[in-house]
Chains A and B, each alone.
Chain A
Amino acid sequence: AQKVTQAQTEISVVEKEDVTLDCVYETRDTTYYLFWYKQPPSGELVFLIRRNSFDEQNEISGRYSWNFQKSTSSFNFTITASQVVDSAVYFCALSEAIKIQGAQKLVFGQGTRLTINP
């Protein structure tokens, strides 16, 4: 069975600090996809990134970066020079490769509530 663990329930930092959100996953599949979504206080789910299991290259997008390490089953997310607008709940998610046409459900972690204080 697939499982995603975000051990950090809440993180609070001061603006401009760097912060890393941890994500550890479990799956028996050899091909899978990992995601990060942001849920701001308004409640919607905003897609941030998708990574497939055979692409371990790290990714950087502005102040955001992601570190995927298959050896430790981790897909961590770092925000550099955090800003108050980064305050949100961040979810890591996992989906399997296509086995059932039309499936590929997302399995979410519990989320990490990130608060950036001015």
Chain B
Amino acid sequence: EPEVTQTPSHQVTQMGQEVILRCVPISNHLYFYWYRQILGQKVEFLVSFYNNEISEKSEIFDDQFSVERPDGSNFTLKIRSTKLEDSAMYFCASRIAGGPTDTQYFGPGTRLTVL
């Protein structure tokens, strides 16, 4: 069964460094999302992406964040200058629109630790 994959599974970085989290969505999906989950808390929406542009973003998704679909398969989240409070699990999700399977399928997540 096709699934969303994410790399790396765990990233440790120093405060102020740039990180890029990578996701490979399910191949025929058209809508892509990033969410984050601070340890022990709920899952929060960051951004949605469709037709090569951001369709919606939350207040969390400030100028330090950016997303890109550099080729036909990858979907990336970049954090330009990481802060301690960026430490969280980051989930990528993808969705195919319409029909009974129209739901968001999540990747296994990347745990980001900012020191």
Residues of A within 8 A of B (CB): 35, 37, 42-47, 50, 91, 93, 100-111
Contacts and interface: CB of A to CB of B under 8 A. Distances in A.
Interface residues of B, number: 29
Contact of B91 (A35, A45, A111): A45
Chain B interface SS verdict (over half): strand
A40 to B, nearest CB: 11
B51 A110 contact: no
Given A106-B43, A106-B45, A109-B42, A100 B55 contact: yes
B103 interface: yes
Given A47-B104, A101-B50, A106-B33, 12 more contacts: A43-B111, A44-B107, A45-B106, A50-B103, A91-B43, A102-B50, A105-B56, A105-B58, A108-B42, A108-B43, A110-B41, A110-B42
B49 A102 contact: yes
A47 B48 contact: no
A104 B42 contact: no
B45 A107 contact: yes
B75 interface: no
Nearest to B104: A106
Contact of B31 (A45, A47, A104): A104
B45 A105 contact: yes
B33 A105 contact: yes
5 contacts: A35-B103, A43-B108, A46-B106, A47-B105, A102-B50
A103 B106 contact: no
Contacts of A101: 50-51, 55
A104 B56 CA distance: 9
A108 B104 CA distance: 13
Q: Which 8 A-B pairs have the closest CB atoms?
A: A102-B50, A102-B55, A45-B106, A105-B45, A103-B56, A108-B43, A44-B108, A50-B103
Contacts of B56: 100, 102-103, 105
B109 interface: yes
Contacts of B83: none
